[in-house]
């Protein structure tokens, strides 16, 4: 297994459509036989466990790590002191061919920026940081661009540029 | 770091008080300076992610692994084909001194069985499998026994028998 799973980051302003793009990319990648992980960068904190469940009681009692295992799903929730670097998260993910992050615009991974005319202002990233832009309006920048429906073409680019080392 | 984190399994019938015992053990272990993980064995399957959240959309779109990272919490949810052996789960947990499982009566780890008079019938485990029993009524078995409030004594036993290799 490749010890360094390739990573691409889908970045963009709030409501530009990061989740929308990711949920379109995943089925096309799966159709082509790839196993895919996603990593959501949540700067505010999140609640993933349900109050009243046993695992929620474990966490509330002070458990540093809470795992839950069933025949079709396995989950780990751990308390951390600081945000975990993306490369550390990558090391913890097994058995996938590609990791797609939602966010992580400041990390050094290949990026796809999503842009919508309704969300004003310039792109977040400099052209040289971007593998491509997904946009609903023509841009003046000299960057490979796709519409939100050109998923197959975008996955072709991901295959060519990112997944070429697939074993 | 110890590559094989010690594991104890809290087992017992439904409603015997497994979660109750675990949420009492954790604060006492934490007070003594141990870092603790819990593993819940859920034979039926669980929903840990919230409908409508970005990570829920990622999973629904087919992501094999979904991670979410914030400054104080890190979580991984992965789809599996079969139940994950406890030793595999142990390998995935880092930076704790003890793993307490809720369930896993058929695994070969040291066990504490919880028993309540109101939950009828004999113990689940044979005496030789058990480190101790936590019970609300006297038992005729020749097993080290504690009441549900004798948490300090039980943690003393866990320290002596299980955590002696702590580095």
Q: Which value does ipTM take for this structure?
A: 0.93
- Give the pLDDT band of residue A74 (cuts 50, 70, 90): very high
List, in order of start, the domains of chain B with CATH numbers.
7-43+83-163 (3.40.50.300)
The two structure tokens encoding residue B62: 């087919």
Average pLDDT rounded to a whole number, residues A47-66: 89
CA dist B114 and B18 (Å) reads 6
- Give the pLDDT band of residue A121 (cuts 50, 70, 90): confident
Q: B110: Cβ–Cβ under 8 A, 6 or more apart, which residues?
A: B7, B8, B9, B131, B161, B162
Of B42, B68, B93, the CB nearest to A65: B93
Residue A166 reports pLDDT greater than 50: no
In this predicted model, which residue has the larger pLDDT, B46 or A37? A37
Of B36, B63, B75, the CB nearest to A64: B36
Residue A156 has phi, psi (to 5 degrees) of: -55, -45
Interface list for B 40-79 with A (CB within 8 A) = 40-50, 53-55, 57-58, 60-79
Residue B167 reports pLDDT greater than 70: no
Provide the pLDDT for residue A144: 95
Provide the pLDDT for residue B3: 66
Q: A160: Cβ–Cβ under 8 A, 6 or more apart, which residues?
A: none
Average pLDDT rounded to a whole number, residues A55-59: 93
CB contact under 8 A, B45 and A73: yes
Of B19, B44, B75, the CB nearest to A54: B19
Average pLDDT rounded to a whole number, residues B38-64: 88
Residue A51 reports pLDDT greater than 80: no
Question: Is the distance from CB of A120 to CB of A36 less than 8 angstroms?
Answer: no
Q: Is B1 on the interface with A (CB under 8 A)?
A: no
CB contact under 8 A, A72 and B92: no
Average pLDDT of chain A is: 92
Interface list for B 99-158 with A (CB within 8 A) = 100, 102
Q: Angle formed by the axes of helices B151-161 and B18-31, to 10°?
A: 70
CA distances from A53 to A61, A112, B23, B101 (A): 13, 38, 12, 15
Provide the pLDDT for residue B165: 61
Average pLDDT rounded to a whole number, residues A105-133: 93
User: Mutation test of the interface with chain A: which of B35, B73, B79, choosing the one with the most A Cβ atoms within 10 A?
Assistant: B73
CB contact under 8 A, B78 and A83: no
pTM metric for this prediction: 0.91
Provide the pLDDT for residue B51: 76
CA dist B78 and A93 (Å) reads 9
Provide the pLDDT for residue A52: 78
Nearest chain B Cα distance for residue A93, angstroms: 8
Which positions in chain A touch B45 (Cβ < 8 Å)?
A: 70-73
Which positions in chain A touch B65 (Cβ < 8 Å)?
A: 36-38, 93-96
**Of the listed ranges B12-16, B41-45, B66-70, the one predicted with least confidence:** B41-45
Provide the pLDDT for residue B166: 47
CB contact under 8 A, A37 and B84: no
């Amino acid at each position: 297994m490749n010890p360094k799973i390739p990573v691409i980051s889908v970045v963009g302003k709030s409501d530009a459509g990061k989740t929308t793009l990711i949920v379109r990319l995943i089925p096309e990648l799966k159709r082509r036989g790839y196993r895919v992980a996603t990593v959501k960068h949540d700067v505010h904190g999140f609640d993933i466990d349900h109050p009243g469940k046993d695992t929620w009681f474990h966490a509330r009692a002070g458990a540093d790590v809470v795992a839950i295992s069933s025949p079709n799903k396995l989950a780990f929730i751990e308390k951390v002191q600081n945000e975990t670097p993306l490369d550390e998260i990558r090391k913890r993910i097994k058995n996938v061919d590609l990791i797609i992050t939602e966010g992580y615009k400041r990390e050094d991974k290949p990026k796809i920026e999503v842009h919508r005319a309704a969300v004003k202002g310039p792109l977040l990233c400099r052209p040289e940081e971007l593998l491509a832009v997904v946009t609903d309006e023509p841009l003046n920048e000299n960057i490979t661009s796709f519409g939100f429906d050109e998923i197959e073409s975008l996955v072709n680019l991901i295959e060519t540029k990112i997944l070429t080392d697939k074993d």
